[in-house]
Amino acid sequence: MSKLATWARLKSPWVLHFNSGACNGCDIEVVALLTPRYDVERFGIKLEPSPRHADVLLVTGSVTQQCAERLKRIYDQMPEPKFVVAIGACACSGGVFKGNYNVLNGVDQVIPVNAYIPGCPPKPEAIIDGVVKLLNSLKPEKPAKGEKKK
Amino acid sequence: MSKKEIDMLSVLQSKFEGTSVQVRPEQLGKAEVIADASTHRDVLKAMLEADEKTAVIAITGIDLGATIGVFYHIRTSETGIITIKVEVPKEEPQIKTITDLMPGATFDEMEVNDLLGVVFEGNPSLGRLVLPDNWPDGVYPLRKDAKLDNLQFKPTPPSEPEPAGNENIVKVIVGPQHPALLEPEKFVLKVEGEIVKDVEPRIGYVHRGIEKATESRTYLQDVYLVERICGICNACHASCFVETVEKILKTEVPPRAKYIRTVLLELNRLHSHLLTLGHAGLEIGFETLFQYFWRDREPIMDITEIISGNRVISSGMTVGGVRRDINEADIPKIKGRLTDLKKKLPFYKNVYEDEPSIKMRMKNVGTLKREDALKLCIVGPTARGSGVDIDVRKDEPYEAYGEIPFKLITYNEGDTWARMNVRMDEVEESINIIEYALDNLPAGPFRVRVPRVVIAGEAVSRVEAPRGELFYYLKSNGTAYPERVKVRTPTFANIPAFLATAIGSSIADVPPNFVSLDPCFSCTDR
Amino acid sequence: MLDFWLFFRVLVFPGFTFILFLTLFCDWVERKIEARMQSRVGPAIAGPAGILQPLADFIKLLTKEEIIPRDAKKNVFRIAPLVAFSVMVFAICFLPIDGSSAISSSGFVGDLIVVMALVTVANFLLFMSGWASANPYGDIGAARVLTQFLGYDIPLFLLALTPAFLAGSLTISIIAANQYLPFIILAPWGFVLFIVALQAELEKDPFDIPHADSEVVGGLETEYCGGKLAFLHLTRDVQIVLGAALVVELFLGGPYGPVFFGLPAFWYSLWFVLKLLVVVMITEYVTCLFARMRIDQVLTANWRVLLPLSVLSLVLTVAMATYVYPMVV
């Protein structure tokens, strides 16, 4: 039965996108994933409006003070099993804004991250590659829930 | 539109002859007017009486040591910016507000209050603008003596209780995480039934402290920092910044670099407009339109990648020119993609002009009258959709725009439909500009070397970003690091338009209205 | 005495299991059509050509954690989605799929009305699930669902009477069997208007307001997650199958079609599924082609346009049937 569950989770990862203080570069590349050239609906990825419906949280941006609490709340609202992907240099470590007074340096200061996708912004191909790597890491051979993959 | 030739400088000089107000032409752009806290309103009143198109571009607050400078940058229907400079003592920074004369200056004053602590007497809405709710009191980041390590953040204040009153009013909170918004901002809509009675914006979720950060990086590093204020209009930010530095250094940028910069700027405008036109489709439930627009936007990203190596943030500008030349062998590829896009434009134009479901959702929605647009100092396609013919490319040509022919697009209806059609027509104009620039690319060097240390001075510069007029003020102090960089982005100026048009509309009209103003909050918050 | 044959028909074919898989299949068809119209590919890796995608979605939702908001009305919150789904499936069981329906072999007088009533009950349960979720978006979404389906139920019912009149009976199986010439040819205006009213009942573009992402986030589904969300989604999908099946029965001649060899029941089921797919495609094309109307425009369209037109359609059909058709047919 759990093989069936894993298969279903791999084939149907629903995604919630949250911008925690980004310049929009990564966000437009994430939205571009839904468009005909990249079309991630092939993988069963759907962009969901509510945190309660999503399995994967895509976070962009270097997490400003004002957003930190919201990010934590959204993460808490998502039902298990859930995964977090940090997209872009800012989400990984603060990027070009590292050290600014209103910025926490990276998403992993607030919530646990499962995959880091560097780039400024990463090309949509890189984002797809990162998400696919995350999904493959869930297969039974390598139990990697919660393990960081760079 | 006829431009009345009002000589603002002679008006001011004659009016304030013999008073403490000094008018200095040819300083800081067109002119600077030295006033003080008791006379700045009189200067502004004089300018408003002389010219109805007077508008506040930005209010810069700058820490000058013992005093805090409050600079009002004003635009009129003539070319050039006039700056009114006022200084207030640091211990008691108080100055009278100008929001009764120019309602569009509300946000500017709130920002100077938030980041520097200047109190604007008479401004009804002073409060946190860009800093978070739990920011410690008394710490003003843009002051030179602000201590920003080990900040003691206050506990987050609880959300305020429902005021006793009309029970029919429901508070609908839009954001910070909301499918309609690509970015986090909070708008509290007070809704009665389906009609919006009030809108309270809370911005600042994307405030990354960029203006302060520019002061601790060299000029070249700042180009990369400033580009990332907004990924969508990144080339405009970079070009405006390098233009101000070049004005201080009095550098002569080679013509080839100017043309290449124009190409990069227009590519920015193209991809941004196509983005908005598609996003508008998503907001009104027209997913098919969204997919088609973004499919046809991809070749523009390809062109940007061919020229600069990156799809989004092109990093093409540098002080003194551009970083890379355009390869002559690539030009046919670029023009081929542009020609393909041009062929599809009549179809899209037809959709936005005649498609019944779009007209149903966008006609007479969010109407902004011309007088309101002028009073609220609105810029960009939002203003051009209401018949106001301002466009920095025509008002104060920069880069190669003075040499390239193109049309200024205005529509008079002032509603969402008009604003989207302005953008639709500008797409075609942008393609024409790029083709002209590529056909007439002058030979020669594409950059000149500039010194690392910039002499002391100040400069202002404006660029027409996709969303409107982008303004930079730069002050240098003779070192390799800038003293102060002030950025005023177009969405910052346009938010009052959204507030004014949303009140009284139906809640279902709020998303299309919002998208038609094309907000970019990473620009707004910096 | 246990009637195994009845259990088989109700639970497996053409009852619950068949309907469940038909629903998942129609969901896949819809997603593929929408993707192709938007120049995309659509689901592609779950099973061959992505055909197992809806099944994967369903199973994945069942394996998620169940979260119940503290302020929600817990019993309603838990039960409403399941009951809505069951009522919809129950309604389909009245429709003849392989020559006779799952429940009875010949139907009974008035079962058309029973089916329409069950649809109304199911929609009301959807409203209750949104109302019970203690979320402002859930409340707004639920209110919109109620406004919309209550309004459009009336023209839908009037239009359903058109084929009833032509066949002279309120029993679905008789209406389906009496179509020597499918009623779409005898009353095309009824067919077109019924499709429009159906778009509104099914809450698809241009009547998509209760699920408007950009305005009400998730609508009535906002707080739901896990298994209950799976059943809410299934209820919507089953409703589409039910609506399409009604169109097939009332206007397209039901499951009856040429039988070439072997069991008639097999051929009838095949024709039923094929005609169902045609209707699903039509509704999906309409969805892709239009933007979403505002709620006040939806209400205007209903009360000022669709309702009078449906009355007119009934009058026209009566006139044609009494005077014109006896001479021609």
Extents of the domains making up chain A: 2-138
Do B463 and B246 touch, CB atoms closer than 8 A?
no
**Cα B281 from Cα B273, distance rounded (Å):** 13
- What is residue B4's predicted lDDT score, i.e. its pLDDT? 46
Q: How far is B271 from chain C (nearest CA, A)?
A: 20
- What is residue C217's predicted lDDT score, i.e. its pLDDT? 67
Q: Which residue of C has its CA nearest to B296?
A: C39
Question: Cβ neighbours of residue B452 under 8 Å, at least 6 residues apart?
Answer: B218, B219, B220, B480
- Return the biggest CA–CA distance within chain B: 71
Contact between chains at A44 and C67 (C-beta distance less than 8 A): no
Contact between chains at C45 and A81 (C-beta distance less than 8 A): no
Distances, alpha carbon B223 to alpha carbons A62, B237, C161, C222, in Å? 19, 8, 71, 43
**B317-318 and B195-202 beta bridge pairing:** unpaired
- CATH class as words, domain B210-314+326-525: mainly alpha
Query: Helix, strand, coil % (nearest 5) of chain A?
Result: 40, 15, 45
- Is pLDDT above 60 for A93? yes
Give the torsion sign (CA, A104, A107, A111, A113).
negative
- What is residue A143's predicted lDDT score, i.e. its pLDDT? 46
- Return the biggest CA–CA distance within chain C: 67
Nearest-CB residue to C292 (from B284, B355, B510): B284
Quick check: C215 contacting A, CB < 8 Å? no
Query: Which chain A residues touch B156 with a CB distance below 8 Å?
Result: 69
Residues of B (94-133) whose Cβ lies below 8 Å from A: 131-133
Regions in chain B scoring below 70 on pLDDT: 1-6, 27, 155-169, 174-182
Give the torsion sign (CA, C7, C13, C19, C20).
positive
Question: Once rounded to an integer, what is the mean pLDDT over residues A84-100?
Answer: 86
Q: How far is B57 from chain A (nearest CA, A)?
A: 23
Query: Which chain C residues touch A81 with a CB distance below 8 Å?
Result: 64-65
Read off the tokens for B227. Answer: 């580009």
Position C199, amino acid: Q
- What is residue B180's predicted lDDT score, i.e. its pLDDT? 58
Q: How many Cβ pairs within 8 Å bridge chains A and B? A: 128
**Cα B89 from Cα B105, distance rounded (Å):** 22
By the 10 Å C-beta count (0-12 exposed, 13-18 middle, 19+ buried), A147 is classed as exposed
Helix locations, chain C, DSSP H: 4-11, 16-37, 53-62, 74-92, 111-131, 136-167, 172-177, 183-186, 188-201, 213-216, 227-251, 264-289, 295-300, 307-319, 325-328
Average pLDDT, chain C: 81
Q: Which residues pair with B95 in a beta bridge?
A: B120
Do B453 and B478 touch, CB atoms closer than 8 A?
yes
**Cα B434 from Cα B9, distance rounded (Å):** 37
User: Which helix (DSSP H) or strand (DSSP E) does residue B70 occupy?
Assistant: strand B67-75
Q: Using alpha carbons, select from B498, B345, B517, B490 the residue that is nearest to residue B420.
A: B517
Read off the tokens for B174. Answer: 């839009």
Average pLDDT, chain A: 83
Distance, C-alpha C43 to centroid of its chain: 23
- What is residue A144's predicted lDDT score, i.e. its pLDDT? 46
User: Which helix (DSSP H) or strand (DSSP E) does residue C222 occupy?
Assistant: none
Query: Which chain C residues touch A36 with a CB distance below 8 Å?
Result: 38-40
Query: What share of chain B in percent tops pLDDT 90?
Result: 4
- Is pLDDT above 70 for A70? yes
Position A58, amino acid: L
Nearest-CB residue to A120 (from B156, B177, B313): B313
ipTM: 0.84
Residues of C (42-81) whose Cβ lies below 8 Å from A: 42-46, 50, 52-53, 55-60, 63-67
Q: Which residues pair with B191 in a beta bridge?
A: B170, B196
Q: How far is B179 from chain A (nearest CA, A)?
A: 5
Query: Which chain C residues touch B288 with a CB distance below 8 Å?
Result: 37-38, 288-289
**In CATH, what number does A2-138 get?**
3.40.50.12280
Q: How far is A96 from chain C (nearest CA, A)?
A: 31
Q: Which residues pair with B85 in a beta bridge?
A: B34, B71
Q: Which residue of B has its CA nearest to C204?
A: B285
**Has domain B2-121 been given CATH number 3.40.190.10?**
no
Contact between chains at C40 and A41 (C-beta distance less than 8 A): yes
Q: How far is C324 from chain A (nearest CA, A)?
A: 51
Nearest-CB residue to A12 (from C35, C57, C66): C57
What digits encode the pLDDT tens for the residues C197-206?
888 888 777 7
Do B363 and B415 touch, CB atoms closer than 8 A?
yes
Q: Using alpha carbons, select from A106, A75, A72 the residue that is nearest to residue A92.
A: A106
Q: Which residue of A has its CA nearest to C38?
A: A36
Do B487 and B476 touch, CB atoms closer than 8 A?
no
Beta strand ranges found along chain A (DSSP E): 14-19, 46-47, 56-60, 83-87, 115-117
Q: How far is B402 from chain A (nearest CA, A)?
A: 30
Query: Which chain A residues touch B177 with a CB distance below 8 Å?
Result: 16, 18, 51, 70, 74
Read off the tokens for C12. Answer: 């497996």
Nearest-CB residue to B522 (from A22, A100, A123): A22
Identify the DSSP state of B448: -
- Is pLDDT above 50 for A71? yes
Position C2, amino acid: L
Distance, C-alpha C329 to centroid of its chain: 32
Which of B135, B173, B174, B208 to substitute to test the interface with A, most A CBs within 10 Å?
Answer: B208
Q: How far is C301 from chain A (nearest CA, A)?
A: 28
Look at residue B457 and give its three-state secondary structure: strand
The CB density around residue C105, as the number of other CB atoms within 10 Å, is 10
Q: Which chains touch B (3 or more CB pairs under 8 A)?
A: A, C
Phi, psi of C95 (to 5 degrees): -90, 135
Phi, psi of B461 (to 5 degrees): -150, 150
Nearest-CB residue to B209 (from A23, A47, A103): A103
Question: Once rounded to an integer, what is the mean pLDDT over residues A104-114?
Answer: 85
| Residue in the block written with tokens 């925690």 | A20
Quick check: C285 contacting B, CB < 8 Å? no
Q: Using alpha carbons, select from B223, B208, B262 the residue that is nearest to residue B454.
A: B223
Distances, alpha carbon B492 to alpha carbons B58, B209, B279, B526, C301, in Å? 10, 16, 20, 10, 39
Question: Cβ neighbours of residue B304 under 8 Å, at least 6 residues apart?
Answer: B264, B267, B271, B310, B311, B312, B314
The backbone region for B178, taken as left when phi is positive above 0, alpha when psi lies in -120 to 50, beta otherwise, is beta
Regions in chain C scoring below 50 on pLDDT: none
